[in-house]
Amino acid sequence: MSEIPCCSGESRKQSDHESQPRYWRRGGWLLVALPLWFLVYHFLEPFAQWITASIFKLDLKSHLGASVTFFFFDTPKVLMLLTLVVLVVTYLQTFVSPERTRAILAKRAGAWGNLLASLLGIITPFCSCSAVPLFIGFVKMGVPLGVTFSYLVSAPTVNEVALLMLFGMFGWKIALLYAITGVTISFFAGLVIGKLGMESSLEPWVLEITYNPESVEEAKQSFSDRLDVAVQGVRDIVGKVWPYMLAGIAAGALIHGYIPESLLVKVMGKGVWWNVPLAVLIGLPLYSNAAGMLPIVQALIGKGAALGTVLAFMMAVISLSPPETIILRKVLRPRLIGVFVGVVTIGILVVGFLFNAIL
């Protein structure tokens, strides 16, 4: 009996994998997948219109027809963009680790440190459950508190996936605007916190930790190793954010089809000063992944909402999240948490007003 080869699903998968040619496993599949991606992406809009008109028998100009087309166009579009973007970003991120970032930022006091931290926050991978170990590791190795905060604000606010998706959906101007906005907020938030000298507002245990960092020996990674990490990243991230995205697209579709432009301009247009604080107020307690926000942003801007208001709303939703704030409470005293939330909120408000005034 024991000679019978085991045939569980696991081992079959393994042998399938082994039977693929070597060049295919090493990334050769990209040569097929990428052109196919662009081909399909190109035909999404006519396909969505065809579904709406021929299968659902709806008038494309009706409210329902517009909503349905938006949904069938945006769902595959955003999913495909997300997949490609996450693949590229995760691949690039295998080159930047938090250790490297910390080495760059250590002992760098002053505004340069804040700027550098804000810029590095764009590309470095960041998961809110890493916030605490990262925070302690930075502060303990001599990264100034203000510089650490610039990084802590920038990392979730200027999300590298959202940045590239904005580029894909709206072009480089809006993407650049988003990056500059996020970096500016992070820069000033860290600068203010650094100037206030709030080192005493850390929880005492943070200062008492004996810090014995071990050297981490990361194995050398080849192209296909990094690609494997990237494919895993696509599985993880796309697998995690798709419910947020579908919800976002559905909300976007409703806005697109049913909310009249005149009403939206009256409430969210440029001329209305109070819509920025209102957008921030509504956005702060909400938490969504950046990818889920984009379809809503797209629908709002398409209907004539002011860019400053929409950006302020998006930043408020993705930058300050209740889960992250609760996690940070473990290392920060309430006073510092208050300053952190306050400074970021003010930054978002200023940016909203500024964009509405100058654009």
Partner 1 sequence: MLIEVFGPGCMKCQTMEKHAKEAVEKSGGDHQVVKISDYAAMASRGILSTPALALDGQIKFQGRVASSDEILALIKG
* Nearer Cβ to partner 1 (99/174): 99
Please state the closest distance from residue 132 (CB atom) to partner 1, in A: 5
Among 134, 183, 253, 314, binds partner 1 (CB under 8 A): 134
**3-state helix vs strand vs coil in the chain, percent to 5:** 75, 0, 20
CB atoms within 10 A of CB 120: 20
Q: Given the structure tokens 């990361």, which residue do they identify?
A: 218
210 binds partner 1, rule: CB under 8 A: yes
Q: Given the structure tokens 């200023």, which residue do they identify?
A: 350
Please state the closest distance from residue 17 (CB atom) to partner 1, in A: 10
130 binds partner 1, rule: CB under 8 A: yes
> How many binding residues for partner 1 (CB under 8 A)?
33
- Going by the DSSP 8-state scheme, the letter that residue 173 receives in this structure is H
Among 46, 110, 133, 260, binds partner 1 (CB under 8 A): 133
CA atoms within 13 A on the CB side of 43: 8
Among 2, 16, 217, 358, binds partner 1 (CB under 8 A): 217
232 binds partner 1, rule: CB under 8 A: yes
Q: Given the structure tokens 């920038």, which residue do they identify?
A: 154
Site string for partner 1, 17-56 (x = CB under 8 A): ----------------------------------------
Segment lying near partner 1 (by CB under 8 A), choices 55-63, 203-211, 280-288, 309-317: 203-211
240 binds partner 1, rule: CB under 8 A: yes
Please state the closest distance from residue 46 (CB atom) to partner 1, in A: 38
Asked if 315 and 177 touch (Cβ cutoff 8 Å), the reply is: no
102 binds partner 1, rule: CB under 8 A: yes
- For the chain, the C-alpha Rg in angstroms (whole number) is 23
Sequence-separated (6 or more) residues with CB below 8 Å from residue 151: 101, 105, 117, 118, 120, 121, 124, 138, 143, 186, 190
Among 140, 226, 329, 333, binds partner 1 (CB under 8 A): 140
CA 164, chain centre distance (Å): 9
Among 214, 271, 334, 358, binds partner 1 (CB under 8 A): 214
Asked if 223 and 231 touch (Cβ cutoff 8 Å), the reply is: no
Separation between Cα atoms, residue 55 and residue 66, nearest integer Å: 14
* Nearer Cβ to partner 1 (15/62): 15
142 binds partner 1, rule: CB under 8 A: no
Asked if 226 and 91 touch (Cβ cutoff 8 Å), the reply is: yes
Sequence-separated (6 or more) residues with CB below 8 Å from residue 310: 268, 279, 297, 300, 301
* Nearer Cβ to partner 1 (103/282): 103
- Going by the DSSP 8-state scheme, the letter that residue 52 receives in this structure is I
238 binds partner 1, rule: CB under 8 A: no
212 binds partner 1, rule: CB under 8 A: yes
Q: Helices then strands (H, E): number in the chain? A: 19, 0
Q: Which two tokens stand for residue 278?
A: 């209102």
184 binds partner 1, rule: CB under 8 A: no
132 binds partner 1, rule: CB under 8 A: yes
Residue of 304, 296, 311 lying closest to 351 (CA atoms): 311
269 binds partner 1, rule: CB under 8 A: no
The residue ranges that bind partner 1 (CB under 8 A) are: 97-99, 102, 125, 127, 129-130, 132-134, 136-138, 140, 205-206, 209-214, 216-218, 229, 232, 236, 240, 327, 330-331
